[in-house]
Amino acid sequence: MEKEYEAFAEELRQDLLRATGYEESRIYFKKKEDYPQTSGDRIFVECGIGEKSREVCGLYVRELYENYLDGETMPEIVRRTMAELDRMKRSGILEKAHDLDDYEKIKGDLFIRLLNFDRNQQELRNAIYRRIGDIALVLYMRMGNFDGIMSSFKIHYDMVERWNMDSEEVFGKALLNTYFMTPPRIFRWERMVFEPDYNGENFMNLLSDFILRKDAGGNCLSTTERTNGAVAVFLPGVAERLGKLLGSGFYMVFTSIHEVMIHRDNAVEVDELRKVLKETVDEATPEEDFLSYYIYHYNRENGEFTWE
């Protein structure tokens, strides 16, 4: 069976070479265990070659092979693959890669997202991040939208060195970028259920009369995009504003990377929050969306975050 699979991979590679007209070296097969290890066997297509960079697209071969076994013909697979490569080119992602060495051109696309540190240590070895407990605030660059999904990648120290910039300065500006790209919002569950276009309450508006819940039920904090929204609590001025509206410090329950529950610290018990968090994560949070099992606390008096 493995020989048939490898024969399929080579036939696909040859057909893609003919369809693209690329040189032999620009389309190659890599097994997942080959260094550096990846999540699956892939055929890599060098879609563009610049003076300082190469634009590479990866195709998961096992998935394509399963489609082949299910009856999809090789010409159909090649046509679909070529169409996906064309969409990638038209998305603007590849063009933006040419600007990676120019900080002034790409600085508006830098942003921060959260990852669990312990589960992503290998990925974070050369990345720029700041750690709070077991949460890593990681510097990313937005590349564009592909099939409705935002494409992005981690910024490494060697890139910042090429920009001749201080990493602290870049990180701080990216935090501010994140605030304006995806402004923080409080979401009411009842409105989320019955109002499809509901995009949350702008509690950061100083002229707003919005009132946070101060009981044990807490408040759901995310961003207007509701994707990677848990970062909202670490954005400039947000924790201070929440503390002022609540009139106290508060606990943070990170049910996923997409949202965080905010609870007034004198309205709930930490042990109860920890129990609810574990049940929620274990039963409803996908593995890739996990952030933390810790309960975090914001001290309104000194502005510090702690965890337990």
Instruction: Tell me the HSE value of 168 on the side-chain side, using a 13 A CA sphere.
Output: 0
- pLDDT of 80 > 60? The answer is yes
176 φ/ψ angles, rounded to the nearest 5 degrees: -65, -40
What is the gyration radius of the CA atoms in the chain, in angstroms? 23
- Among 53, 111, 63, CA closest to 84: 63
Cβ distance 79 to 256 under 8 Å? no
More confident site: 192 or 254: 254
Mention every residue, 6+ apart, whose C-beta is less than 8 A from residue 1: none
- pLDDT of 243 > 60? The answer is yes
Cβ distance 221 to 233 under 8 Å? yes
CA distance 108 to 113: 15
Instruction: Tell me the HSE value of 18 on the side-chain side, using a 13 A CA sphere.
Output: 8
Quick one: pLDDT at residue 35? 65
Cβ distance 231 to 178 under 8 Å? yes
What is the pLDDT averaged over residues 10-19?
A: 94
- pLDDT of 160 > 70? The answer is yes
pLDDT digits (tens, 9 = 90+) for 105-147: 889 999 999 999 999 998 898 899 999 999 999 999 987 655 5
CA distance 91 to 77: 21
CA distance 126 to 156: 5
pTM: 0.74
| Residue type at position 137 | L
